Amino acid sequence: MTTSMQPRTAQQPAPDELVMQLVNAIASVIAAKVHEQTAPVQPAPMNMPAPSPSAIYLTVNEAAELLRCKPQRIYNLLYERQIDRYRDGGRILIRRDEIESWVTGAQQATAGARRTRTGTRSAS
């Protein structure tokens, strides 16, 4: 029982060509994966480390980062005594939970003010 080989047509590539196409496709997928995993990681800014989520006390700059505001806003809140300050030598520290409760209170006050403004009508 012999098998006869059919002649190749123009549409069928040779087995060696198929193997090379497959090898090239696999190599390009592997190269993309290697590049993806070895891409340089953006370094953290050198000026100041980000505040740890578990930190109890924050510096003024860390509190500003947490609130996404300028440090001057934190100093204003301290001056207005809306949040308490703690000192460690020359550093001013703020408790994280105080910042979070101030944000919650400010949001509730803003929502209440909106309700009052929209809920009242002037007598005319």
Report the candidate in 109, 60, 65 with the shortest Cα–Cα distance to residue 86. 60
What integer pLDDT is reported at residue 43 of this predicted model?
56
Residues composing the chain: 124
Looking up tokens 């080989």 gives: 5
What integer pLDDT is reported at residue 29 of this predicted model?
87
Task: For the full predicted model, state whether its pTM sits above 0.85.
Answer: no
Q: Is residue 29 part of a domain?
A: no
Q: Is residue 77 part of a domain?
A: yes
Structural domain including 61 reads 57-111
Least confident residue range of 9-13, 44-48, 109-113: 44-48
Looking up tokens 């001057």 gives: 72
Q: Is residue 91 part of a domain?
A: yes
Q: Is residue 46 part of a domain?
A: no
Within 8 A by CB and 6+ apart from 87, the residues are 93
Q: Is residue 11 part of a domain?
A: no
What integer pLDDT is reported at residue 36 of this predicted model?
76
Q: Is residue 76 part of a domain?
A: yes
> What is the number of domains present in the chain?
1
Instruction: Kindly state the tokens that stand for 9.
Output: 């047509």
For the segment 17-39, the average pLDDT, to the nearest whole number, is: 84
Per DSSP, the three-state class of 120 is: coil
Q: What is the CATH number of the domain that holds 75?
A: 1.10.1660
Q: Is residue 21 part of a domain?
A: no
